[in-house]
Amino acid sequence: MSHLELVSHVLCPYVQRAVIALTEKSVAFRRIDIDLGAKPTWFNAISPLGKVPLLRVRDGQEVVLFESAVICEYLEETQPNPLHPAAALERARHRAWIEFVSATLNDVAGFYNAPPEQFEAKRQRLVERFAWLERHVGDGPYFAEQFSLVDAAFAPLLRYFDSFERIADFGFFDNAPKVSTYRAALAARPSVQGAVIADYPARLMAFLLRRPSHLATLIPARAA
């Protein structure tokens, strides 16, 4: 059996996808969190894009996989408990929505980095993203009936909004009741809960507070 080590960062949503997939598949792995602000030399030597997650697969020799989608697909092909739908078209649809999540993660960064004059446009962009999701998410409890790889991508994205809601009510889900229900189901899933450390909310809030952004100016003392 190969030895799996996931090179990670405590706040990274892409890392969480791999952790959730590994957990759902009951696969043993070792997690190493690094500081992306001071990347270790050994990390720079093995990470072609300088990004986490990396999956170091040791099976005699070592192979380093990068890119969360590739890592999750590799786990899907080699480990038990399939997380993708069996039907090719539905599987492709789920992969497409995983791409949607990655694009929306860029919009989340746009929102938490926005200067005051861009803040409303960035907020509106996220509202539009969730309007799209509202039209395409299934009747639950997850994106489809069974928990799947697309949920492992959506869960870390939606987790950000727990922290945003501690700052203020930005109305992201006002017209997205199905997304709200989906979000609650994901938050209750043990693999999702276990994908971050206990003080993740405090660490994320500290990260948001350090941004030279409009959002940082809205963070009340109690949330910080």
50 binds ligand GSH per the rule CB under 6 A: yes
Closer residue to ligand GSH (CB): 36 or 209:
36
What is the nearest approach in angstroms of ligand GSH to the Cβ of residue 181?
A: 27
51 binds ligand GSH per the rule CB under 6 A: yes
Closer residue to ligand GSH (CB): 49 or 198:
49
189 binds ligand GSH per the rule CB under 6 A: no
d(CA 67, CA 18): 10
**Half-sphere exposure in the Cβ direction for 152 (13 Å, CA):** 28
What is the nearest approach in angstroms of ligand GSH to the Cβ of residue 46?
A: 13
| Residue from 8, 16, 68, 213 binding ligand GSH (CB under 6 A) | 68
Look at residue 5 and give its three-state secondary structure: strand
Q: In what order do the strands lie in the sheet with 61-66?
A: 30-33, 3-8, 54-59, 61-66
4 binds ligand GSH per the rule CB under 6 A: no
d(CA 186, CA 44): 33
Does an H or E element contain 112, and which? helix 88-113
d(CA 119, CA 21): 34
Region binding ligand GSH by CB under 6 A among candidate stretches 48-56, 78-86, 169-177, 200-208: 48-56
73 binds ligand GSH per the rule CB under 6 A: no
Which spans of this chain sit near ligand GSH (rule: CB under 6 A)? Answer: 9, 12, 14, 36, 50-53, 67-69
